[in-house]
A and B are shown apart, each in its own frame.
Chain A
């Protein structure tokens, strides 16, 4: 038992919406007067009128886990899953509504780069000030001062007020202070999302060094799965305040990625009434079927994708055709492909179209289906009905930058030497 650094038991946090006040005494009094004395609707918070009088939001619900000494945990999950709330509770910034967090050792949290930085003061003053705020003592900062300055690389500007720094310099100095903290437990929130690529690499390196060589316990929140897999040994996946999975990092991250990827590969409806559509068309099923070998492998650019759909046609004797429109994540149209036109009766119509492998670039894509009558009149445009994400695959290519282009087709491409100067 003695090697457990943090123990979290049944931790819950409730945020009450609409009961915390409006922030103005006059409005609060007015609100009290209308809701409590005259028993009328709240004039400032209308969103909760349909449900309970005070809408509650469970930011965390019954979260329990144990972190052993020296383990690096990654916290993953969508926005609003409760990751930051969990970190804030463990850092003692907010109180839990229920549950206990127990721990051993000094704890430092880094939820933001540059907390307590004072723009008017010089870099030197700020190193000390932000060190104190993060819980360091004067001798500790003095001992590491040169190291901090060297890491940040701003020696020349040490006696310049921080307000005259470029944002990059500011972040570098702030991170340098934080990186030289030596607590037993370190709590990090998305701090690597700042600075240029070069500095990010330096930070990641520093974090790895810290966790591996000094056996420090780290809790780390990031949206970058690459950073999580690289740095952490364990991971916790939170979904709407609850623990979805926890354990070994690669396992949890794969589950999380698979879940977010598959969420929009299939949509079905059992009755026309509940289905999206209008008086002419109701969709029954839309689906992307990847033509890959293994089921749990992530989709990459080599995989052919078959889009299958079925819809209820509510019109008799109509010439129908469908367009498949593919959009990139940025909303740019990649292509718009029409089907053949067929005369259909009332009933179910099915269609299928295959996007070949080795054709699209890596990234996220959205599919829209567009149903047309007599090849001229739009009947229904089902926007963004499916979405998918393609992982990168480069084979032998040793270059790791972002690949250009909306598509990356595998075209016949030859390269031959026709002349040689070497005799």
Chain B
């Protein structure tokens, strides 16, 4: 065999796996696939449904009504000066983004095993497409939140905070997305290897919701137990989201920095694990 070291090869496949996975150029080459997968998920989600994409709004509205009645009226949790509708809607919309994209991406390997074992493309495209799909739904729900907010601001005595907070809300959305896909990537490796982790994902997110200020403000929690809540990197993000949009929230700069550091660390570790372990998983799934 004549091996000429001067020759330029376009690609090379070796036994070592690249920690970084696909190069940005390769990822870009598959951008059409990304768009196609988002479109597929959207079409599939509303195939043979009566109301179709209306569900994007119906789901948070129904949850909102339940929360307002159960937690606002029956249990009587105080939402401070913020109208309960706005308080719960902000929490629900943000939690949905986290919950959907985490659970949606956590089964990447087990759900796509039949495709992954037959054709190559940068694996990370599938979870990113999922996240993109959920971000579109979130955008619609967020628009709805802004509409309700405008209504309260114009027609009731409630005074909205200045628009100065909106960039902070966008930062929160970015961090929540990164955190959820990070967790999703990490868990997709685990669920690929151990199918029973899937049940844990469902149960875990439901329990995590109670440790996150979705249905109650942090202010409301006794100081004795607040440390537990503050350990959760989602807590400062939810409080910051409400503070920036509704003008009420208990959060410090330190807590936000903790959350940012956690998110970035998680994302890097998750991406590397996904790329490195993904190739090994292909021998198993």
Contacts and interface: CB of A to CB of B under 8 A. Distances in A.
Interface string B25-45: 000011011011101100110
B36 A132 contact: yes
Given A2-B7, A99-B15, A121-B43, A94 B283 contact: yes
Contacts of A95: 13-15, 17, 279-280, 282
B284 interface: yes
B28 to A, nearest CB: 11
Of A4, A112, A125, A133, chain B has the most CB atoms within 10 Å of the CB of: A133
A89 B44 contact: no
B153 interface: no
B14 A116 contact: no
Given A24-B196, A66-B1, A115-B118, A100 B36 contact: no
Interface string A201-221: 000000000000000000000
Interface string B162-173: 000000000000
Contacts of A88: 117
> Which size class do A's interface residues fall under?
35 or more
A92 B120 contact: yes
Contacts of A104: 9-11
A101 interface: yes
Contacts of B117: 88, 93
B197 interface: yes
Nearest to A115: B118
Secondary structure dominating the interface of B: loop
A94 B11 CA distance: 15
A77 interface: no
Q: How large is the interface on B (under 10, 10 to 19, 20 to 34, 35 or more residues)?
A: 35 or more
B17 to A, nearest CB: 6
Given A93-B119, A115-B115, A120-B44, A64 B194 contact: no
B40 A134 contact: no
Interface of A: 1-2, 4, 7, 9, 15, 20-21, 23-26, 28, 64, 66, 88-105, 107, 109, 111-112, 115-116, 118, 120-121, 125, 128-129, 132-138
Interface of B: 1-4, 7, 9-15, 17, 29-30, 32-33, 35-37, 39-40, 43-44, 47-48, 114-121, 193-197, 279-280, 282-284
